Structure formats: C-alpha cells, structure tokens
Amino acid sequence: MDIYARLKELGYELPAPPPRGGLYVPVKQVGSMAYVSGQGPTENGKPLFVGKVGREINIEQGQAAARRCVLNGLASLHAHLGDLNKIKGVVKLLGLVASAPGFNSQPQVVNGGSQLLLDLFGDEGWHARSAMGTNELPGDIPVEIEFIFELK
C-alpha cells in the first residue's frame, strides 16, 4: 500500500520536517537502516504541547503528542529518502515522556505513536520499543521519540 494514501485515509497530512535543534543530522542512513533523531510534538519549530504528563498533560494529550512525534519523524525521513514507500518496516522506537512525580504510565503514552505506525504499516509496523520517563525534555515538550526503520 502507498504510505501517502494510507496517511490520507487515516486523516493525517505529512507536516514540514522540523528544523534541527542542535549539532546532529535528522536522519542517518547506514546500509538498509535509517536512524531518525528524536522528534518532538512540534509544528514549524514550536511545541504543540507543553508540560509534564500527569500534571499539565493527560494521557490522551500525551498520546496525541506521540502521534505528532511519529508524523515529524516520517517528515524527516521523507526529506531524507524522497519517498516513504522505501520503508520496509519499523524496527525500534525509543519514547521519552516528561513525567510528573508519581506518573508511571509512560508505555500508555507512547502507545499513541506505536498505534499510528501499526495503522500505517500493518504487520511491518510492529517494533521493539522502550518507553521511559524523564524529568525534563527540550522546550518543555511532554514526549520525544526516536526511530529505527528498515529500508527496502
């Protein structure tokens, strides 16, 4: 299936790739593997969500933030590859969730991003994953996700 048609069918549009926020490349390709740097829930370089999950941000908002991280990751990968249909599958996600003290449902938050990848890629969307809590993320964003994709 065409990934762009699937995005549209699910009601999503690929955003512009986020600007770099430091001394790194958004995507590093090594052979058939593409490593996508951590992506936040931003639009035009500005956070769409701010705060800690479990305090200013609830789980559903955290899941929406995780979905935006996925869309930004795909936008960065599109800018690198020129065609997301070159993706064979999702290998791994590392999800970081800025968490209020006592909040321990980080996997549930990152599920928002994982579910979007499964919806987009079907069986090839299944991935290994870590979902970790942290006290702070850049710009006070609630979620950051980095990715590893296998390419055709």
Whole-prediction pTM: 0.97
- Whether residue 23 lies inside any domain: the answer is no
Contacts of 66 (CB under 8 A, 6+ apart): 41, 95, 109, 110, 111, 112, 113, 114, 116, 143, 145
- Indicate the pLDDT class of residue 1, thresholds 50, 70 and 90: confident
Residues 109, 62: contact at Cβ < 8 Å? Answer: yes
- What is the phi-psi region of residue 73: left when phi exceeds 0, alpha when psi lies from -120 to 50, beta otherwise? alpha
| Domain range for 87 | 3-18+29-151
> pLDDT by residue (tens digit) across 90-113?
999 999 999 999 999 999 999 999
Which tokens belong to 60?
A: 């559903």
Q: 59-81 and 106-121 helices cross at what angle (nearest 10)?
A: 40
Domain count, the chain: 1
> pLDDT by residue (tens digit) across 107-129?
999 999 999 999 999 999 999 99
> Which CATH number do you get for residue 146?
3.30.1330.40
- Whether residue 24 lies inside any domain: the answer is no
How confident is the model over 122-137, as a mean pLDDT?
Answer: 98
